[in-house]
Amino acid sequence: MKRMVALSLLLGSAACAPSSDDAPRASGGGTVLVMVMDGVRPGESLGDEASLATGESPRDFMPRTWSSLVPQGVRATNAWTLAATTTAPGHAAMVCGRRQPLANFPVEDSPGLYRPELPTLPELLRRSGDVPPGQAIIVANSELLSPMTQSLWPLDGEQHAGEFVFVANQDYDDAGSGSDDLVIHQVMQRLIFDHPSFVLANLHQVDRSGHFGSYYDYPDEARLLDRPLVELWEWLQRQDTFKDNTWMLLIADHGRHSISDDDPTWRHHGCSCNGCRRLPFLLLGPGVNQAAELDDPLLLTDVAPTLAALLDLDMPWADGMVRDDLFQQPTGHPGRSGVAAIAVSGGLVAQVVYKDDPAHRSELRLDGQILSDPQAIAVEAPALATDLDQAWLCFREILLEPQQDESPWIPRCLHSSDGAQTWEDIGAPTATATADWQVKLIPWDGDSLLAVYAINPNGMAISGYQAEQDRIEAALYQDGSWIVAQAQSVPSFPTFIDAVESDDGVLLAVGASRDGAFARYTRDIYTARVQVVEGWPRVSNLKSMGLAPSMGQEGEWRFEHPAMRAGDDGVLELALLAFQDGANNGLVLRSTDHGITWEEPGLLNLPGSTMPNITPRWVEDRAIFAVVDRDTGEARLCAGNLDSEPVCVDAMSPRILDLAVDQDMVYAIVDRSSGEWEEARWSASELGI
């Protein structure tokens, strides 16, 4: 029997505090239905401003929706995505409640191991009880959605994947249907026969028509969504099974260009312009505020924790908020709180801290100082480096600028020469960051700084689809300015990056893929060398480590999250995450010649699965992995190397959000109670090192 709670629509008086029984919930046959109008801007659907495609009012595109559905629900007038504005990263944010690096790699027979790192809403629903796959469904006429039914996260050591229903083209089975109506028809069939609890339907033809159709195909295809969406909701209200316990959300995963050299302008998407970032949003269902408008910023990452609350589920990994302001009564489910990310060096601790304000959700603090812009809606990815009294701090932040052309992620770097008492802004080596931008900082030659980072602006990581924008850069800050060098022949979609100083420069390692149709299945670790010659950084070509063939085992492998360590006498060590056939492993390699050649990799004998979102860290000669214990399901920190068995300690928490090391001290962000994140510390001796 499905794990649900009874619906109560008997609302108390405004003077009474709501009890948990007053909150909107899905009943035993309740359903949450998400209809994703892929790539549709608010101007062609549910916005307030005229269409940039035709000059018409949004009401002209969806007259029945505006006259019939909008009065029944709550419309968010200020909805955004902060992810890379393409399909895969947008949907990962929507179903996980947290943005993750995920590219639009073509899907062949199956997604393989290229899936989100954190649990998706369909698999959390299945895990909540005896819920079969058909109760948690994703329906789409694009195979790009197939990875969203299941993540790499080890949930109880079992598979909890939802079901993916592909609506194929009648003439080409491996292509998606050219009709969004057929997707909606498939949704209705599954509702009739399976009564699912969660359905996400991606209407991809409207986006496809924008990319490949004639001049007005996109606006015309957007008009065609009006009738079937209204008829779907009216049909639900005529069914006793659905009419009083079904929620329907109309939303997009991204928008389209509003500033572009394309003709027409709306042909593509993938940048940080507001046309790509702004989203339509309308929620209908019991307990929802009716004929209402929500003006506070609402993010795509708010969708999963809010809909999970309707299904009586928590999503502690989500950094999106449970949006109780959409409902007449609060859902009663907690939102995230506490520490979101951490960076440590030289005894300094920089923390990104969650806030409850929808317009200002996080801020960066160090020793009581708030170093991020107070107007930023989000602050992420702090990196910290120190050398005596010198300190450098870099991070990314984003401000929503609805009156401007775009709202980009902004890279920021600060410098202190007095032990972090005061800070000055030294600019950043790149003009704009990306949604996944993170930097590795290395103090260099006194008061200079070397920074290495990856740029992957849009998740379109296949050759011919703007993949030429992907790059690896090394930047040297000296004498008040940045000097930037780029690597040549950058592999597809570089993500997690680390670097370490060795005797002959700096060696960097990054997770990336080969270009082409099989990029999804060829995630590997690439290395390159950075040298500074007469004050100018230089980056060698990136070289694949070719780890999969060296594993000596058949099957598909995926390698991510490299972490490097420099030892004595030219010894380098590399720790990373290796995924294979549902197993999450810790892998360690060693080089004795400054990273020119590497010995055979070794899988550590860990007592469970590595957490797929946590980069390992080095303490002395031991790699620290965050592990989900196979017996208890609790988080453990395990220290190991090629020469010894791992030693583990309990983290006293079911999950870890971030991990950092400063000399012999390990810092972790742990969950104390369903999204209450706190900093915890262990010394090397406490870890058995």
Instruction: Give per-residue pLDDT as tens, 499-558.
Output: 999 877 899 999 999 877 788 999 999 999 999 998 899 999 999 999 988 887 777 899
CA 668 → CA 116, 656, 665, distances in Å? 22, 7, 10
Sorted by where each begins, the domain ranges of the chain are: 31-328, 336-428, 436-595, 604-689
- Residue 603: predicted pLDDT: 94
Q: How far is 364 from 354, CA to CA, in rounded Å?
A: 9
Q: How far is 387 from 600, CA to CA, in rounded Å?
A: 35
Does the pTM surpass 0.85? The reply is yes
Kindly tell me if the per-residue pLDDT of 11 is higher than 60.
no
- Residue 158: predicted pLDDT: 63
Buried b (16+ CB within 10 A) or exposed e, 334-347: ebbbbbbbbbbbbe
Q: Using pLDDT thresholds of 50, 70 and 90, give the confidence band for residue 658.
A: very high
Kindly tell me if the per-residue pLDDT of 467 is higher than 60.
no
Is 31-328's fold the same as 436-595's?
Answer: no
Quick one: what percent of the chain has pLDDT higher than 70? Answer: 93
Kindly tell me if the per-residue pLDDT of 432 is higher than 90.
no
Q: How far is 270 from 89, CA to CA, in rounded Å?
A: 10
DSSP state of 73: S
| Lowest mean pLDDT, pick from 169-178, 577-586, 637-646 | 169-178
Instruction: Give per-residue pLDDT as tens, 449-465.
Output: 999 999 988 766 544 44
Largest CA distance in the chain: 77
- Residue 16: predicted pLDDT: 31
Identify whether the C-beta of residue 575 lies closer than 8 Å to the C-beta of residue 562. yes
Give helix 226-238 / helix 180-194 axis angle, nearest 10°: 10
Q: How far is 307 from 291, CA to CA, in rounded Å?
A: 20
Q: Using pLDDT thresholds of 50, 70 and 90, give the confidence band for residue 106.
A: confident
Q: Using pLDDT thresholds of 50, 70 and 90, give the confidence band for residue 156.
A: low
- Residue 262: predicted pLDDT: 85
Which residues make Cβ contacts (< 8 Å) with residue 56, sequence separation at least 6? 50
Q: How far is 35 from 249, CA to CA, in rounded Å?
A: 6
Which residues make Cβ contacts (< 8 Å) with residue 540, sequence separation at least 6? 487, 528, 529, 530, 531
Fold of 436-595: Neuraminidase (2.120.10)
HSE, side-chain direction, 13 A CA sphere, residue 497: 29
Instruction: Give per-residue pLDDT as tens, 160-207.
Output: 889 999 999 887 767 888 999 999 999 999 999 999 999 999 999 999
Q: How far is 590 from 571, CA to CA, in rounded Å?
A: 7
Taking CA 509 as the corner, what is the angle to CA 532 and CA 618, rounded to the nearest 5 degrees?
A: 105
- Residue 514: predicted pLDDT: 82
Q: Using pLDDT thresholds of 50, 70 and 90, give the confidence band for residue 25.
A: low
- Which class is domain 31-328? alpha beta
Kindly tell me if the per-residue pLDDT of 18 is higher than 50.
no
DSSP codes joined into one string, 149-183: G--SS-BTTB----EEEE-B-SS-TTSB-S-HHHH
